[in-house]
Structure 1
Amino acid sequence: MVGNIFKQVKYAKINMITQAKDEYELMTAEQLKVVLKELDFKKPETIKSKDLDQLIIQMVEHIGSTEAQLRDKLIYTSFYYFTKDGYLNHKQMEYLIETCLDQKHLFLGIGSTNDDSVFTRAFSTLVIALILDRDREEQFLSEEMALKAIESSILYLQKEEDTRGYVEEKGWAHSIAHGADLLAEAVKHPLFDLALASECLNTIGGCILKDTAYVDEEDERLIYAVIALLEKGMDENLLKEWIANLSKKVTDIKNKTGYTPYFFRKNTNLNQFIKSFYFRLLFLNDGFQTRQEIEGILKSQIIAD
Protein backbone atom coordinates (compact mmCIF):
# COMPACT_ATOMS: atom_id res chain seq x y z
CA MET A 1 0.00 0.00 0.00
CA VAL A 2 2.76 2.43 0.96
CA GLY A 3 4.64 1.45 -2.22
CA ASN A 4 1.58 2.22 -4.35
CA ILE A 5 1.15 5.64 -2.72
CA PHE A 6 4.85 6.40 -3.33
CA LYS A 7 4.50 5.41 -6.97
CA GLN A 8 1.42 7.62 -7.38
CA VAL A 9 3.24 10.62 -5.88
CA LYS A 10 6.30 9.91 -8.01
CA TYR A 11 4.38 9.85 -11.28
CA ALA A 12 2.33 12.85 -10.23
CA LYS A 13 5.59 14.80 -10.11
CA ILE A 14 6.52 13.66 -13.61
CA ASN A 15 3.05 14.61 -14.82
CA MET A 16 3.60 18.13 -13.42
CA ILE A 17 6.45 18.60 -15.88
CA THR A 18 4.44 17.03 -18.70
CA GLN A 19 1.49 19.33 -17.99
CA ALA A 20 3.83 22.32 -17.79
CA LYS A 21 4.90 21.51 -21.34
CA ASP A 22 1.54 22.73 -22.60
CA GLU A 23 2.02 26.02 -20.77
CA TYR A 24 5.33 26.89 -22.42
CA GLU A 25 5.53 28.41 -25.86
CA LEU A 26 7.98 26.42 -27.95
CA MET A 27 11.20 28.29 -28.54
CA THR A 28 12.61 28.59 -32.02
CA ALA A 29 15.98 27.00 -32.63
CA GLU A 30 17.61 30.44 -32.56
CA GLN A 31 15.98 31.36 -29.26
CA LEU A 32 17.10 28.10 -27.67
CA LYS A 33 20.64 28.62 -28.92
CA VAL A 34 20.77 32.03 -27.22
CA VAL A 35 19.58 30.54 -23.91
CA LEU A 36 21.99 27.60 -24.01
CA LYS A 37 24.95 29.80 -24.93
CA GLU A 38 24.28 31.81 -21.78
CA LEU A 39 24.89 28.74 -19.62
CA ASP A 40 28.32 28.72 -18.02
CA PHE A 41 28.95 25.44 -16.25
CA LYS A 42 31.94 26.96 -14.48
CA LYS A 43 29.48 29.40 -12.87
CA PRO A 44 26.67 27.33 -11.29
CA GLU A 45 24.58 30.43 -10.62
CA THR A 46 23.98 30.79 -14.39
CA ILE A 47 22.34 27.35 -14.32
CA LYS A 48 20.40 27.61 -11.08
CA SER A 49 18.78 30.85 -12.16
CA LYS A 50 17.09 29.11 -15.10
CA ASP A 51 13.70 27.42 -15.13
CA LEU A 52 15.08 23.95 -15.80
CA ASP A 53 11.62 22.39 -16.13
CA GLN A 54 11.00 24.65 -19.09
CA LEU A 55 14.51 24.39 -20.47
CA ILE A 56 14.67 20.58 -20.63
CA ILE A 57 11.28 20.52 -22.35
CA GLN A 58 12.58 22.95 -24.97
CA MET A 59 15.80 20.96 -25.39
CA VAL A 60 13.95 17.68 -25.94
CA GLU A 61 11.72 19.36 -28.52
CA HIS A 62 14.84 20.27 -30.53
CA ILE A 63 16.90 17.17 -29.72
CA GLY A 64 16.82 16.02 -33.35
CA SER A 65 17.70 19.39 -34.88
CA THR A 66 19.61 19.09 -38.13
CA GLU A 67 21.84 21.95 -37.02
CA ALA A 68 24.95 20.36 -35.54
CA GLN A 69 25.83 23.22 -33.22
CA LEU A 70 22.42 23.22 -31.56
CA ARG A 71 21.96 19.44 -31.42
CA ASP A 72 25.46 18.32 -30.49
CA LYS A 73 27.44 21.22 -29.06
CA LEU A 74 24.63 22.89 -27.12
CA ILE A 75 21.78 20.47 -26.35
CA TYR A 76 23.74 17.27 -25.77
CA THR A 77 26.61 19.02 -24.00
CA SER A 78 24.16 20.80 -21.71
CA PHE A 79 22.35 17.55 -20.93
CA TYR A 80 25.72 16.00 -20.10
CA TYR A 81 26.58 18.65 -17.52
CA PHE A 82 23.01 18.85 -16.21
CA THR A 83 23.11 15.15 -15.30
CA LYS A 84 26.77 14.71 -14.38
CA ASP A 85 26.94 17.78 -12.15
CA GLY A 86 23.63 17.20 -10.41
CA TYR A 87 21.64 20.16 -11.72
CA LEU A 88 18.61 18.00 -12.50
CA ASN A 89 16.46 16.49 -9.79
CA HIS A 90 15.03 12.99 -9.95
CA LYS A 91 11.63 13.99 -11.32
CA GLN A 92 13.27 15.93 -14.15
CA MET A 93 15.44 12.97 -15.09
CA GLU A 94 12.44 10.65 -14.88
CA TYR A 95 10.60 12.94 -17.29
CA LEU A 96 13.57 12.94 -19.65
CA ILE A 97 14.05 9.19 -19.80
CA GLU A 98 10.32 8.53 -20.16
CA THR A 99 10.12 11.04 -23.01
CA CYS A 100 13.28 9.94 -24.79
CA LEU A 101 12.16 6.29 -24.71
CA ASP A 102 8.91 6.97 -26.53
CA GLN A 103 7.91 6.49 -30.14
CA LYS A 104 8.55 10.15 -30.96
CA HIS A 105 12.17 10.00 -29.86
CA LEU A 106 14.17 6.76 -29.56
CA PHE A 107 11.92 4.99 -32.05
CA LEU A 108 10.93 7.90 -34.28
CA GLY A 109 10.98 6.61 -37.87
CA ILE A 110 12.91 3.52 -36.78
CA GLY A 111 13.91 1.36 -39.74
CA SER A 112 14.16 4.30 -42.13
CA THR A 113 17.41 5.27 -43.80
CA ASN A 114 18.84 8.54 -45.05
CA ASP A 115 16.27 10.83 -43.48
CA ASP A 116 16.60 13.29 -40.62
CA SER A 117 14.73 11.20 -38.03
CA VAL A 118 18.04 9.49 -37.25
CA PHE A 119 19.22 12.59 -35.37
CA THR A 120 16.30 12.40 -32.96
CA ARG A 121 16.89 8.69 -32.35
CA ALA A 122 20.65 8.90 -32.03
CA PHE A 123 20.68 11.80 -29.61
CA SER A 124 17.82 10.40 -27.53
CA THR A 125 20.03 7.34 -26.91
CA LEU A 126 22.69 9.56 -25.37
CA VAL A 127 20.29 11.22 -22.93
CA ILE A 128 18.91 7.82 -21.86
CA ALA A 129 22.48 6.61 -21.32
CA LEU A 130 23.29 9.64 -19.14
CA ILE A 131 20.28 9.00 -16.93
CA LEU A 132 20.95 5.26 -16.63
CA ASP A 133 24.46 6.16 -15.50
CA ARG A 134 23.06 8.41 -12.77
CA ASP A 135 20.49 5.80 -11.78
CA ARG A 136 23.22 3.20 -11.41
CA GLU A 137 24.51 5.25 -8.48
CA GLU A 138 21.28 6.67 -7.05
CA GLN A 139 18.55 4.20 -8.15
CA PHE A 140 15.74 6.76 -8.40
CA LEU A 141 14.02 5.18 -11.42
CA SER A 142 11.20 2.74 -10.89
CA GLU A 143 12.14 -0.85 -11.65
CA GLU A 144 9.62 -0.77 -14.49
CA MET A 145 11.26 2.26 -16.11
CA ALA A 146 14.81 0.98 -15.66
CA LEU A 147 13.92 -2.38 -17.21
CA LYS A 148 12.15 -0.63 -20.08
CA ALA A 149 15.32 1.37 -20.77
CA ILE A 150 17.46 -1.78 -20.69
CA GLU A 151 15.15 -3.66 -23.04
CA SER A 152 14.84 -0.65 -25.34
CA SER A 153 18.63 -0.35 -25.61
CA ILE A 154 18.70 -3.81 -27.18
CA LEU A 155 15.63 -3.29 -29.35
CA TYR A 156 16.94 0.02 -30.68
CA LEU A 157 20.16 -1.48 -32.06
CA GLN A 158 18.22 -4.38 -33.54
CA LYS A 159 15.90 -2.04 -35.44
CA GLU A 160 18.23 0.84 -36.40
CA GLU A 161 18.99 0.74 -40.13
CA ASP A 162 20.44 4.22 -40.69
CA THR A 163 24.11 3.52 -40.11
CA ARG A 164 25.52 6.89 -41.21
CA GLY A 165 28.28 8.30 -39.05
CA TYR A 166 29.06 11.86 -40.10
CA VAL A 167 26.47 13.52 -42.34
CA GLU A 168 27.73 16.38 -44.48
CA GLU A 169 26.25 19.78 -43.51
CA LYS A 170 24.34 18.23 -40.58
CA GLY A 171 27.07 16.74 -38.43
CA TRP A 172 27.14 13.50 -36.47
CA ALA A 173 24.30 11.01 -36.58
CA HIS A 174 26.48 8.09 -35.40
CA SER A 175 23.43 6.01 -34.53
CA ILE A 176 25.26 2.69 -34.08
CA ALA A 177 27.99 4.25 -31.94
CA HIS A 178 25.46 6.08 -29.77
CA GLY A 179 23.32 2.97 -29.51
CA ALA A 180 26.38 1.01 -28.41
CA ASP A 181 27.05 3.61 -25.70
CA LEU A 182 23.48 3.16 -24.47
CA LEU A 183 23.76 -0.63 -24.49
CA ALA A 184 26.98 -0.46 -22.47
CA GLU A 185 25.25 1.68 -19.84
CA ALA A 186 22.28 -0.69 -19.80
CA VAL A 187 24.58 -3.67 -19.16
CA LYS A 188 26.27 -1.85 -16.27
CA HIS A 189 22.94 -1.14 -14.58
CA PRO A 190 22.19 -3.20 -11.43
CA LEU A 191 18.92 -4.46 -12.90
CA PHE A 192 20.53 -5.88 -16.04
CA ASP A 193 20.02 -9.65 -16.13
CA LEU A 194 22.93 -11.72 -17.47
CA ALA A 195 20.32 -13.98 -19.06
CA LEU A 196 20.18 -11.23 -21.71
CA ALA A 197 23.89 -11.61 -22.55
CA SER A 198 23.32 -13.86 -25.54
CA GLU A 199 20.69 -11.52 -26.99
CA CYS A 200 23.04 -8.58 -26.49
CA LEU A 201 25.85 -10.36 -28.33
CA ASN A 202 23.53 -11.32 -31.17
CA THR A 203 22.36 -7.70 -31.36
CA ILE A 204 25.95 -6.47 -31.56
CA GLY A 205 26.66 -9.11 -34.18
CA GLY A 206 23.69 -7.87 -36.16
CA CYS A 207 25.19 -4.37 -36.11
CA ILE A 208 28.54 -5.70 -37.35
CA LEU A 209 26.81 -7.51 -40.20
CA LYS A 210 24.57 -4.65 -41.32
CA ASP A 211 24.91 -3.80 -45.00
CA THR A 212 27.46 -1.03 -44.56
CA ALA A 213 31.18 -0.62 -43.96
CA TYR A 214 31.80 1.43 -40.83
CA VAL A 215 34.35 4.21 -41.10
CA ASP A 216 33.79 6.22 -37.90
CA GLU A 217 35.02 3.77 -35.25
CA GLU A 218 31.64 2.20 -34.62
CA ASP A 219 33.48 -1.07 -33.98
CA GLU A 220 35.34 0.49 -31.05
CA ARG A 221 32.11 1.68 -29.47
CA LEU A 222 30.46 -1.73 -29.89
CA ILE A 223 33.41 -3.25 -28.04
CA TYR A 224 32.53 -1.17 -24.96
CA ALA A 225 29.24 -3.06 -24.69
CA VAL A 226 30.97 -6.45 -24.98
CA ILE A 227 33.53 -5.49 -22.34
CA ALA A 228 30.66 -4.40 -20.08
CA LEU A 229 29.16 -7.88 -20.46
CA LEU A 230 32.45 -9.50 -19.49
CA GLU A 231 32.81 -7.22 -16.48
CA LYS A 232 29.25 -8.14 -15.52
CA GLY A 233 30.33 -11.78 -15.31
CA MET A 234 29.37 -13.25 -18.68
CA ASP A 235 30.80 -16.72 -19.33
CA GLU A 236 33.71 -16.42 -21.75
CA ASN A 237 32.62 -19.59 -23.55
CA LEU A 238 29.57 -17.67 -24.74
CA LEU A 239 31.83 -14.95 -26.11
CA LYS A 240 34.18 -17.38 -27.83
CA GLU A 241 31.29 -19.20 -29.50
CA TRP A 242 29.76 -15.91 -30.60
CA ILE A 243 33.00 -14.80 -32.30
CA ALA A 244 33.28 -18.17 -34.04
CA ASN A 245 29.66 -17.98 -35.25
CA LEU A 246 30.15 -14.44 -36.54
CA SER A 247 33.16 -15.57 -38.56
CA LYS A 248 31.21 -18.52 -39.92
CA LYS A 249 28.37 -16.26 -41.05
CA VAL A 250 30.80 -14.08 -43.01
CA THR A 251 32.47 -17.15 -44.52
CA ASP A 252 29.06 -18.48 -45.55
CA ILE A 253 28.33 -15.17 -47.28
CA LYS A 254 31.60 -15.45 -49.23
CA ASN A 255 30.82 -19.03 -50.24
CA LYS A 256 27.35 -18.00 -51.39
CA THR A 257 28.04 -14.66 -53.12
CA GLY A 258 31.77 -14.74 -53.84
CA TYR A 259 33.98 -11.69 -53.45
CA THR A 260 31.15 -9.20 -53.83
CA PRO A 261 30.88 -5.72 -52.27
CA TYR A 262 28.21 -7.24 -50.02
CA PHE A 263 30.76 -9.74 -48.65
CA PHE A 264 33.61 -7.23 -48.38
CA ARG A 265 31.57 -4.77 -46.33
CA LYS A 266 30.70 -7.42 -43.76
CA ASN A 267 34.20 -8.91 -43.76
CA THR A 268 35.71 -5.47 -43.25
CA ASN A 269 33.44 -4.81 -40.27
CA LEU A 270 34.20 -8.20 -38.74
CA ASN A 271 37.96 -7.85 -39.13
CA GLN A 272 38.03 -4.33 -37.74
CA PHE A 273 35.97 -5.46 -34.79
CA ILE A 274 37.90 -8.62 -33.88
CA LYS A 275 41.31 -6.98 -34.31
CA SER A 276 40.38 -4.10 -32.03
CA PHE A 277 38.68 -6.48 -29.62
CA TYR A 278 41.75 -8.74 -29.52
CA PHE A 279 44.00 -5.95 -28.31
CA ARG A 280 41.41 -4.63 -25.86
CA LEU A 281 41.29 -8.08 -24.27
CA LEU A 282 45.08 -8.30 -24.34
CA PHE A 283 45.50 -4.98 -22.56
CA LEU A 284 42.92 -6.07 -19.97
CA ASN A 285 44.67 -9.45 -19.59
CA ASP A 286 41.31 -11.12 -20.15
CA GLY A 287 39.57 -13.43 -22.62
CA PHE A 288 42.46 -15.79 -23.34
CA GLN A 289 40.26 -18.36 -25.11
CA THR A 290 38.56 -15.67 -27.16
CA ARG A 291 41.90 -14.24 -28.20
CA GLN A 292 42.98 -17.69 -29.36
CA GLU A 293 39.78 -17.96 -31.40
CA ILE A 294 40.46 -14.58 -33.03
CA GLU A 295 44.04 -15.58 -33.82
CA GLY A 296 42.72 -18.72 -35.53
CA ILE A 297 40.24 -16.72 -37.60
CA LEU A 298 42.87 -14.24 -38.77
CA LYS A 299 45.42 -16.98 -39.54
CA SER A 300 42.84 -18.88 -41.63
CA GLN A 301 42.21 -15.72 -43.67
CA ILE A 302 45.92 -15.34 -44.40
CA ILE A 303 46.19 -18.94 -45.50
CA ALA A 304 43.08 -18.63 -47.65
CA ASP A 305 44.51 -15.55 -49.37
Structure 2
Amino acid sequence: MVTTDSLKKELKGLDFNNPETIIHKDLDTLIEHMVDYIGSIDPELRDKLIYTTFYYIINQDYLNHQQMDYLLQTCLDPNHLFLSIGSENDDSVFTRAFSSLVVALVLGKDRKERFLSEDTVKKTIESSMKYLLEEEDTRGYVEEKGWAHSIAHGADLLDESVKHPLFDKTLASECLDTIRRCILIETAYVDEEDERLISVIISLLEKEMNENILKDWVSELSDEVTEIRASNGFSPTFFRKNTNLNQFLKALYFRLLFLERGTQTRKEIERILKANLLV
Protein backbone atom coordinates (compact mmCIF):
# COMPACT_ATOMS: atom_id res chain seq x y z
CA MET A 1 0.00 0.00 0.00
CA VAL A 2 1.26 3.49 -0.84
CA THR A 3 2.55 5.54 2.10
CA THR A 4 1.20 8.94 3.12
CA ASP A 5 4.52 10.57 2.29
CA SER A 6 4.69 9.08 -1.20
CA LEU A 7 1.06 9.99 -1.90
CA LYS A 8 1.68 13.55 -0.74
CA LYS A 9 4.69 13.80 -3.01
CA GLU A 10 2.74 12.47 -5.98
CA LEU A 11 -0.20 14.83 -5.44
CA LYS A 12 2.04 17.84 -4.94
CA GLY A 13 3.59 17.02 -8.32
CA LEU A 14 0.27 17.57 -10.10
CA ASP A 15 -0.09 20.96 -11.77
CA PHE A 16 -3.63 21.65 -12.95
CA ASN A 17 -2.36 24.43 -15.17
CA ASN A 18 -0.14 21.89 -16.89
CA PRO A 19 -2.19 18.90 -18.11
CA GLU A 20 1.00 17.00 -19.01
CA THR A 21 1.57 16.38 -15.28
CA ILE A 22 -1.75 14.54 -15.11
CA ILE A 23 -2.71 12.88 -18.40
CA HIS A 24 0.13 10.36 -18.31
CA LYS A 25 -0.66 9.29 -14.75
CA ASP A 26 -2.22 5.92 -13.96
CA LEU A 27 -5.40 7.58 -12.68
CA ASP A 28 -7.08 4.27 -11.82
CA THR A 29 -4.36 3.57 -9.28
CA LEU A 30 -4.12 7.17 -8.10
CA ILE A 31 -7.81 7.50 -7.26
CA GLU A 32 -7.73 4.16 -5.44
CA HIS A 33 -4.89 5.45 -3.28
CA MET A 34 -6.68 8.74 -2.65
CA VAL A 35 -9.82 6.90 -1.56
CA ASP A 36 -7.70 4.76 0.77
CA TYR A 37 -6.58 7.93 2.56
CA ILE A 38 -9.73 10.01 2.15
CA GLY A 39 -10.21 10.11 5.92
CA SER A 40 -6.58 10.75 6.86
CA ILE A 41 -6.15 12.77 10.05
CA ASP A 42 -3.41 14.72 8.28
CA PRO A 43 -5.32 17.85 7.16
CA GLU A 44 -2.82 18.67 4.43
CA LEU A 45 -3.19 15.26 2.82
CA ARG A 46 -6.95 14.92 3.32
CA ASP A 47 -8.17 18.42 2.57
CA LYS A 48 -5.56 20.37 0.65
CA LEU A 49 -4.29 17.51 -1.50
CA ILE A 50 -6.80 14.66 -1.81
CA TYR A 51 -10.03 16.66 -1.89
CA THR A 52 -8.54 19.43 -4.02
CA THR A 53 -7.21 16.86 -6.50
CA PHE A 54 -10.59 15.16 -6.70
CA TYR A 55 -12.20 18.55 -7.35
CA TYR A 56 -9.93 19.31 -10.28
CA ILE A 57 -9.73 15.89 -11.91
CA ILE A 58 -13.52 15.55 -11.83
CA ASN A 59 -14.40 19.07 -12.96
CA GLN A 60 -11.63 19.37 -15.53
CA ASP A 61 -12.58 16.07 -17.21
CA TYR A 62 -9.52 14.01 -16.39
CA LEU A 63 -11.68 11.10 -15.19
CA ASN A 64 -13.87 9.03 -17.47
CA HIS A 65 -17.39 8.00 -16.60
CA GLN A 66 -16.36 4.54 -15.41
CA GLN A 67 -13.81 6.01 -13.01
CA MET A 68 -16.37 8.44 -11.60
CA ASP A 69 -18.91 5.65 -11.14
CA TYR A 70 -16.26 3.68 -9.26
CA LEU A 71 -15.59 6.69 -7.04
CA LEU A 72 -19.27 7.18 -6.29
CA GLN A 73 -19.96 3.53 -5.50
CA THR A 74 -16.89 3.29 -3.27
CA CYS A 75 -17.57 6.48 -1.35
CA LEU A 76 -21.18 5.43 -0.71
CA ASP A 77 -20.22 2.08 0.80
CA PRO A 78 -20.22 1.11 4.52
CA ASN A 79 -16.48 1.75 4.77
CA HIS A 80 -16.74 5.35 3.63
CA LEU A 81 -19.90 7.49 3.88
CA PHE A 82 -21.30 5.19 6.56
CA LEU A 83 -18.08 4.14 8.29
CA SER A 84 -18.87 3.77 12.02
CA ILE A 85 -21.93 5.98 11.51
CA GLY A 86 -23.39 7.08 14.83
CA SER A 87 -20.03 7.32 16.55
CA GLU A 88 -18.87 10.58 18.13
CA ASN A 89 -15.52 12.22 18.68
CA ASP A 90 -13.42 9.67 16.83
CA ASP A 91 -11.51 9.94 13.58
CA SER A 92 -14.04 8.05 11.47
CA VAL A 93 -15.88 11.34 10.94
CA PHE A 94 -13.17 12.48 8.52
CA THR A 95 -13.80 9.50 6.24
CA ARG A 96 -17.56 10.08 6.28
CA ALA A 97 -17.41 13.83 5.79
CA PHE A 98 -14.88 13.81 2.96
CA SER A 99 -16.56 10.87 1.24
CA SER A 100 -19.72 12.98 1.16
CA LEU A 101 -17.84 15.77 -0.61
CA VAL A 102 -16.53 13.42 -3.31
CA VAL A 103 -20.01 11.97 -3.83
CA ALA A 104 -21.30 15.53 -4.23
CA LEU A 105 -18.63 16.26 -6.86
CA VAL A 106 -19.56 13.19 -8.92
CA LEU A 107 -23.29 13.83 -8.57
CA GLY A 108 -22.78 17.44 -9.65
CA LYS A 109 -20.87 16.25 -12.71
CA ASP A 110 -23.64 13.79 -13.53
CA ARG A 111 -26.20 16.59 -13.26
CA LYS A 112 -24.52 18.17 -16.27
CA GLU A 113 -23.53 15.09 -18.28
CA ARG A 114 -25.87 12.24 -17.18
CA PHE A 115 -23.66 9.17 -17.20
CA LEU A 116 -24.81 7.44 -13.99
CA SER A 117 -27.65 4.92 -14.05
CA GLU A 118 -31.01 6.05 -12.75
CA ASP A 119 -30.84 3.48 -9.95
CA THR A 120 -27.42 4.78 -8.89
CA VAL A 121 -28.64 8.36 -8.75
CA LYS A 122 -31.72 7.43 -6.73
CA LYS A 123 -29.56 5.42 -4.32
CA THR A 124 -27.27 8.44 -3.94
CA ILE A 125 -30.17 10.80 -3.23
CA GLU A 126 -31.50 8.39 -0.59
CA SER A 127 -28.03 8.06 0.93
CA SER A 128 -27.62 11.83 1.16
CA MET A 129 -30.64 12.05 3.46
CA LYS A 130 -29.78 8.87 5.37
CA TYR A 131 -26.30 10.19 6.10
CA LEU A 132 -27.48 13.45 7.67
CA LEU A 133 -30.14 11.62 9.64
CA GLU A 134 -27.57 9.27 11.16
CA GLU A 135 -24.48 11.46 11.60
CA GLU A 136 -23.85 12.13 15.31
CA ASP A 137 -20.41 13.73 15.18
CA THR A 138 -21.19 17.39 14.55
CA ARG A 139 -17.72 18.84 15.11
CA GLY A 140 -16.64 21.57 12.73
CA TYR A 141 -12.94 22.31 13.11
CA VAL A 142 -10.88 19.79 15.07
CA GLU A 143 -7.61 21.03 16.54
CA GLU A 144 -4.52 19.58 14.83
CA LYS A 145 -6.67 17.49 12.46
CA GLY A 146 -8.48 20.23 10.58
CA TRP A 147 -12.02 20.37 9.26
CA ALA A 148 -14.48 17.55 9.85
CA HIS A 149 -17.53 19.76 9.20
CA SER A 150 -19.74 16.72 8.72
CA ILE A 151 -23.08 18.55 8.75
CA ALA A 152 -21.89 21.23 6.31
CA HIS A 153 -20.39 18.64 3.98
CA GLY A 154 -23.50 16.48 4.24
CA ALA A 155 -25.61 19.54 3.42
CA ASP A 156 -23.49 20.11 0.30
CA LEU A 157 -24.27 16.55 -0.78
CA LEU A 158 -27.98 16.94 -0.06
CA ASP A 159 -27.98 20.19 -2.04
CA GLU A 160 -26.48 18.42 -5.06
CA SER A 161 -29.11 15.70 -4.67
CA VAL A 162 -31.95 18.22 -4.78
CA LYS A 163 -30.45 19.96 -7.83
CA HIS A 164 -30.19 16.72 -9.79
CA PRO A 165 -32.80 16.29 -12.57
CA LEU A 166 -33.78 12.88 -11.17
CA PHE A 167 -34.66 14.33 -7.76
CA ASP A 168 -38.33 13.57 -7.13
CA LYS A 169 -40.17 16.65 -5.85
CA THR A 170 -42.27 14.41 -3.62
CA LEU A 171 -39.11 14.01 -1.49
CA ALA A 172 -39.24 17.69 -0.46
CA SER A 173 -40.86 16.97 2.90
CA GLU A 174 -38.35 14.21 3.59
CA CYS A 175 -35.52 16.66 2.86
CA LEU A 176 -37.03 19.19 5.25
CA ASP A 177 -37.32 16.48 7.92
CA THR A 178 -33.62 15.76 7.41
CA ILE A 179 -32.75 19.44 7.85
CA ARG A 180 -35.00 19.62 10.93
CA ARG A 181 -33.02 16.80 12.52
CA CYS A 182 -29.77 18.68 11.86
CA ILE A 183 -31.10 21.87 13.47
CA LEU A 184 -32.61 20.22 16.53
CA ILE A 185 -29.44 18.40 17.50
CA GLU A 186 -27.80 18.66 20.92
CA THR A 187 -24.86 20.75 19.69
CA ALA A 188 -25.01 24.48 18.99
CA TYR A 189 -23.33 25.13 15.63
CA VAL A 190 -20.51 27.66 15.32
CA ASP A 191 -19.11 27.03 11.82
CA GLU A 192 -21.96 28.27 9.56
CA GLU A 193 -23.58 24.88 9.17
CA ASP A 194 -26.92 26.71 9.04
CA GLU A 195 -25.91 28.55 5.87
CA ARG A 196 -25.10 25.30 4.10
CA LEU A 197 -28.42 23.76 5.17
CA ILE A 198 -30.28 26.82 3.89
CA SER A 199 -28.78 26.26 0.44
CA VAL A 200 -30.74 23.00 0.32
CA ILE A 201 -33.97 24.88 1.05
CA ILE A 202 -33.27 27.38 -1.70
CA SER A 203 -32.68 24.51 -4.12
CA LEU A 204 -36.01 22.99 -3.05
CA LEU A 205 -37.76 26.28 -3.80
CA GLU A 206 -36.05 26.39 -7.18
CA LYS A 207 -37.49 22.92 -7.78
CA GLU A 208 -40.90 24.57 -7.29
CA MET A 209 -41.61 23.33 -3.78
CA ASN A 210 -44.77 25.08 -2.62
CA GLU A 211 -43.82 27.91 -0.28
CA ASN A 212 -46.65 26.98 2.09
CA ILE A 213 -44.78 23.75 2.82
CA LEU A 214 -41.77 25.78 3.95
CA LYS A 215 -43.86 28.24 5.96
CA ASP A 216 -45.66 25.44 7.81
CA TRP A 217 -42.38 23.61 8.38
CA VAL A 218 -40.79 26.71 9.94
CA SER A 219 -43.80 27.09 12.22
CA GLU A 220 -43.68 23.43 13.29
CA LEU A 221 -39.94 23.72 13.93
CA SER A 222 -40.51 26.65 16.27
CA ASP A 223 -43.36 24.86 18.03
CA GLU A 224 -41.13 21.87 18.68
CA VAL A 225 -38.51 24.01 20.41
CA THR A 226 -41.24 25.77 22.42
CA GLU A 227 -42.47 22.36 23.59
CA ILE A 228 -38.94 21.46 24.71
CA ARG A 229 -38.88 24.59 26.89
CA ALA A 230 -42.31 23.74 28.29
CA SER A 231 -41.16 20.23 29.19
CA ASN A 232 -37.58 20.87 30.35
CA GLY A 233 -37.51 24.55 31.26
CA PHE A 234 -34.46 26.65 30.39
CA SER A 235 -32.21 23.60 30.20
CA PRO A 236 -28.95 23.29 28.24
CA THR A 237 -30.84 21.16 25.70
CA PHE A 238 -33.38 23.94 25.16
CA PHE A 239 -30.78 26.68 24.86
CA ARG A 240 -28.67 24.77 22.34
CA LYS A 241 -31.62 23.89 20.15
CA ASN A 242 -33.08 27.37 20.48
CA THR A 243 -29.71 28.88 19.51
CA ASN A 244 -29.60 26.72 16.40
CA LEU A 245 -33.21 27.58 15.57
CA ASN A 246 -32.73 31.33 15.95
CA GLN A 247 -29.49 31.37 13.94
CA PHE A 248 -31.10 29.28 11.23
CA LEU A 249 -34.24 31.40 11.01
CA LYS A 250 -32.32 34.67 10.85
CA ALA A 251 -30.04 33.35 8.13
CA LEU A 252 -32.99 31.89 6.20
CA TYR A 253 -34.90 35.18 6.49
CA PHE A 254 -32.14 37.23 4.92
CA ARG A 255 -31.35 34.65 2.23
CA LEU A 256 -35.01 34.72 1.18
CA LEU A 257 -35.07 38.52 1.38
CA PHE A 258 -32.00 38.92 -0.81
CA LEU A 259 -33.49 36.49 -3.34
CA GLU A 260 -36.89 38.23 -3.15
CA ARG A 261 -38.59 34.95 -2.33
CA GLY A 262 -40.69 33.43 0.42
CA THR A 263 -42.80 36.41 1.50
CA GLN A 264 -45.11 34.33 3.69
CA THR A 265 -42.23 32.39 5.21
CA ARG A 266 -40.44 35.63 6.07
CA LYS A 267 -43.56 36.93 7.81
CA GLU A 268 -43.76 33.72 9.82
CA ILE A 269 -40.09 34.02 10.79
CA GLU A 270 -40.71 37.61 11.94
CA ARG A 271 -43.60 36.42 14.09
CA ILE A 272 -41.47 33.65 15.66
CA LEU A 273 -38.49 35.88 16.40
CA LYS A 274 -40.68 38.61 17.90
CA ALA A 275 -42.38 36.04 20.12
CA ASN A 276 -39.00 34.77 21.28
CA LEU A 277 -38.02 38.29 22.37
CA LEU A 278 -41.02 38.34 24.73
CA VAL A 279 -40.08 35.08 26.47
Under TM normalisation by the shorter chain, which class is it? over 0.9
Q: Which residue of 2 aligns with 1:109?
A: 84
Q: Which residue of 2 aligns with 1:43?
A: 18
Tell me how far 1:302 sits from its aligned partner. 1.3
Confirm whether residue 196 of structure 1 aligns to residue 142 of structure 2.
no
Confirm whether residue 150 of structure 1 aligns to residue 125 of structure 2.
yes
The one-letter amino acid of 1:90's match is H
Q: Which residue of 2 aligns with 1:32?
A: 7
Q: Which residue of 1 aligns with 2:96?
A: 121
The one-letter amino acid of 1:286's match is R
Deviations 1:222-260 (A, max 9, x none): 001111101011011110011001000100011111111
Secondary structure at 1:120's aligned position in 2? helix
Which of these residues, 156, 175, 183, is aligned with residue 158 of structure 2? 183
CA–CA distance in 1 between the matches of 2:110 and 2:233?
48
Tell me how far 1:85 sits from its aligned partner. 0.7
The one-letter amino acid of 1:252's match is E
Q: Which residue of 1 aligns with 2:114?
A: 139
Tell me how far 1:168 sits from its aligned partner. 0.6
Q: Which residue of 2 aligns with 1:166?
A: 141
Tell me how far 1:261 sits from its aligned partner. 1.0
Secondary structure at 2:25's aligned position in 1? coil
Secondary structure at 2:197's aligned position in 1? helix
Q: Give runs of ≥4 in structure 1 deviating > 3 Å.
A: none
Confirm whether residue 82 of structure 1 aligns to residue 54 of structure 2.
no
Which of these residues, 209, 215, 220, is aligned with residue 240 of structure 1? 215
Tell me how far 1:278 sits from its aligned partner. 0.2
Which of these residues, 182, 185, 188, is aligned with residue 207 of structure 1? 182
The one-letter amino acid of 1:136's match is R
CA–CA distance in 2 between the matches of 1:176 and 1:160?
8
Q: Which residue of 1 aligns with 2:226?
A: 251
Give structure 2 stretches of 5+ with no counterpart.
none
Deviations 1:93-131 (A, max 9, x none): 000000000000000000000011000000000000000
CA–CA distance in 2 between the matches of 1:286 and 1:226?
12
Bigger Cα Rg? 1
CA–CA distance in 2 between the matches of 1:56 and 1:242?
41
CA–CA distance in 2 between the matches of 1:85 and 1:215?
33
The one-letter amino acid of 1:58's match is H
* Aligned counterparts, 1:259-278, within 5 A: 259-278=234-253
Q: Sequence identity, in percent?
A: 66
| Count of residues paired in the alignment | 279
Confirm whether residue 301 of structure 1 aligns to residue 276 of structure 2.
yes
Tell me how far 1:188 sits from its aligned partner. 0.3
CA–CA distance in 1 between the matches of 2:115 and 2:162?
17
